[in-house]
Amino acid sequence: MLATGARIGEILALRWEDLDLAAERPTLTICGTLVFVKGQGFFRQPWTKSDAGWRMVVLPRFAVGMILARKLIAADNSHDAIFASRRGTWLSPNNVRRQWREARADTDLAWVTPHTFRKTVATLIKEETDTKSAAAQLGHSSEEVTATYYIAKPAQAPDVSDILERLGADRGRRQRPAPAAPNDAHG
């Protein structure tokens, strides 16, 4: 999630066929998401949350290394899922969230959720490029959604400028040139 900014359901729906690790710039095509159907459980929906959600992202090197290491230990499964359960089924996003909460228990990272990764990716991309690139990476059709809900903004201090103006109230008087001292030679 930190390498792509993808939604948890999109990450858990990834299949090995969605990767192109042999490309000069390895890519991942995000083209589905996991959904829950009552009485049937989780299944892979072959489309994303929105049309803009279907996207190909270039993977950073650390993600390629992690995926290659995972491929060495991943069990075969009928879904071709990169992140399958031990039984070869789709992982439940709720179970992954629960495991994440347990993993960060007794740490100062309680505030870090899977959604935090998405916001971190958006903020970093916006800081280094622009909101349009961040929106495209996250699969948003609207830059406004990305800017409003995903890009961190500095805290807004209350407007106390009228109070602080007093500190500069005498500024004009202090900066006037001092009167010239009488020059004895000129009289």
Average pLDDT over residues 13-41: 95
- For residue range 50-108, list pLDDT tens digits in order: 888 999 999 999 999 999 999 888 888 999 999 999 899 999 999 999 999 999 999 99
d(CA 178, CA 184): 18
- pTM flag (> 0.75): yes
Q: Is the pLDDT score of 187 beyond 60?
A: no
Average pLDDT over residues 3-12: 96
Residue at 125: amino acid letter:
I
Domains (range + CATH), the chain? 8-149 (1.10.443.10)
- For residue range 108-166, list pLDDT tens digits in order: 999 999 999 999 999 999 999 999 999 999 999 999 999 999 999 888 888 899 999 99
